[in-house]
Structure 1
Amino acid sequence: MSKTVLSLQGVDIFQNKHKVLSNINLEVQKGEFLYIIGKTGTGKSSFMKTLYADLPLEVGEGSIVDYDLKTLKERDIPYLRRSLGIVFQDFKLLPDRTIYGNLHFALKATGWKEKEEMDRKIHEVLDNVNMLAHIEKMPHQLSGGEQQRVAIARALLNDPDLILADEPTGNLDPQTSAEVMELLLNINKNGRTIIMVTHDYALLLKFPAKTLKCDDGTLFEVVHRTAQHQ
């Protein structure tokens, strides 16, 4: 039976009291892969911030991984974020500690205590993204693509039902973007739901999936033309 990981009904999205998206109705089932596209300033990031409760849900009804966004209390936000994996464009790795240290910090911040369990989990997620060999390196010693792989590993630490990826390939060259994309699709094949914001239309053609577009204050599904062979 499919499980709904995100449900929005009649949702308006606001940024600084200014309405950026109106009347969103969306159901995302477990295991789906979903792109969100649109020009800069059309509300993509505000939409994502509402999903991980960085912006409050003021109009409409919404639930994400069994949390009600409308009634969510401040104290529950860390628990919600534990159920989500969040991947950002700029990696957000801590520059003053190793890759191991970054992932250890994330586990401690989400309530893990047992060192053996933490070590096992860190090794597991780094192995999943082919970065285990770099466990003792500092972020500045890694390429952008490698840093994003570590950021994806960090997003997997708490076995999230849903991964929110906000322009995860935005700072990467085309080849590295494709490699990161293949990694995300592999994670999706293993049953994790992914919602990804992107402005990289080449990726959409190469890796087609259900696509929603932010435009003119609304969010709607778009149907891709089939990519022409070059």
Structure 2
Amino acid sequence: MSESILALKDVGVFQKENMVLNEISLDIKKGEFVYLIGKTGSGKSSFMKTLYGDLPLRHGEGNIVGFDLKTLKEKDIPFLRRKLGIVFQDFKLLPDRNINNNLQFVLKATGWKDQAKMDTQITEVLDKVGMKTKGFKFPHELSGGEQQRIAIARALLNDPELILADEPTGNLDPQTSVEVMKVLQEINKSGRTILMATHDYALILKYPSKTLKCDGSKVFEVVQNAV
């Protein structure tokens, strides 16, 4: 039996006082690739935010990469996020510094001290996403697809147990989306667990995998051909 990376039991997701999702019970095992689908406004982002500690878990039980979401304290959140890789739709790269320094900023912020180790780690993650030669470029010098690859590299820096990708292809054209998807697939093959929120059904058809759906304030697994 492979271990659970994410287990939720009877969870309610709140946005301020409003409950957006309720009665969520699910289990994601180590090494799975799971899609989270649903219309805009169905609660996908609030769900993701609850997982990485941006929204508190006020109802139900939740355990993610060994952290109890119910008892999570403000001071624990940086440690939780070190075990998660988070990829956003809008890349969130710092425009005033080159790619190497963007990645170094994250390492320093998460407690790395040794410059040689940081340099090695940065080279390694850039290599994994096919961007090894682009470290000296600034974000504006890269295409959207390249920026998203960098964002994925950034998510890999602390060797996370789970990658949460929130609409990672949302701002990309279909061809680039497929390229980014291939990168995510490779990362998943290396044994990492990925939960990807998307409404790009073409990708789901091309790369079928376990799929959860946000709909009518619930999250449930859907059979592939019923997507």
Which band: TM-score by shorter chain?
over 0.9
After superposition, the Cα gap between the structure-2 partners of 1:7 and 1:226, relative to the gap in structure 1 and judged at 3 Å, is: closer
1:3-41 deviation per Cα after TM superposition (whole angstroms, max 9, x unaligned): 111010000011121111110000110000000000011
- Structure 1 counterpart SS, 2:93: coil
Matched residue, 2:119:
119
1:109-129 deviation per Cα after TM superposition (whole angstroms, max 9, x unaligned): 000000000000000000111
User: CA contact under 8 A between 1:13 and 1:50: conserved in structure 2?
Assistant: yes
User: CA contact under 8 A between 1:165 and 1:195: conserved in structure 2?
Assistant: yes
**How far, CA to CA, are the matches of 1:192 and 1:224 in structure 2?**
22
Point out the more displaced range, 29-38 or 217-226. Answer: 217-226
- Structure 2 counterpart SS, 1:225: helix
5+ residue gaps, structure 2, are: none
**How far, CA to CA, are the matches of 2:221 and 2:22 in structure 1?**
14
**How far, CA to CA, are the matches of 2:120 and 2:18 in structure 1?**
45
1:69-103 deviation per Cα after TM superposition (whole angstroms, max 9, x unaligned): 00011100000000000000000000000000000
Task: State how 1:185-204 maps to structure 2 within 5 Å.
Answer: 185-204=185-204
How far off is 1:224 after superposition? 2.0
Matched residue, 2:137:
137
State percent identity of aligned pairs: 68
**How far, CA to CA, are the matches of 1:225 and 1:65 in structure 2?**
30
1:218 matched to 2:218? The reply is yes
1:142-191 deviation per Cα after TM superposition (whole angstroms, max 9, x unaligned): 00000000000000000000000000000000000001001101100100
**How far, CA to CA, are the matches of 1:225 and 1:41 in structure 2?**
23
**How far, CA to CA, are the matches of 1:34 and 1:15 in structure 2?**
24
Point out the more displaced range, 13-22 or 55-64. Answer: 13-22
**How far, CA to CA, are the matches of 1:11 and 1:134 in structure 2?**
42
TM-score scaled by length of structure 1: 0.97
TM-score scaled by length of structure 2: 0.98
**How far, CA to CA, are the matches of 1:44 and 1:148 in structure 2?**
20
- Structure 1 counterpart SS, 2:171: coil
Matched residue, 1:35:
35
1:33-67 deviation per Cα after TM superposition (whole angstroms, max 9, x unaligned): 00000001110000000000000000000010000
User: CA contact under 8 A between 1:104 and 1:122: conserved in structure 2?
Assistant: yes
1:2 matched to 2:8? The reply is no
User: CA contact under 8 A between 1:163 and 1:195: conserved in structure 2?
Assistant: yes
Residue identity opposite 2:23 in structure 1? N
- Structure 2 counterpart SS, 1:125: helix
Matched residue, 2:101:
101
Matched residue, 1:110:
110
**How far, CA to CA, are the matches of 1:80 and 1:221 in structure 2?**
26
1:86 matched to 2:99? The reply is no
How far off is 1:226 after superposition? 8.5
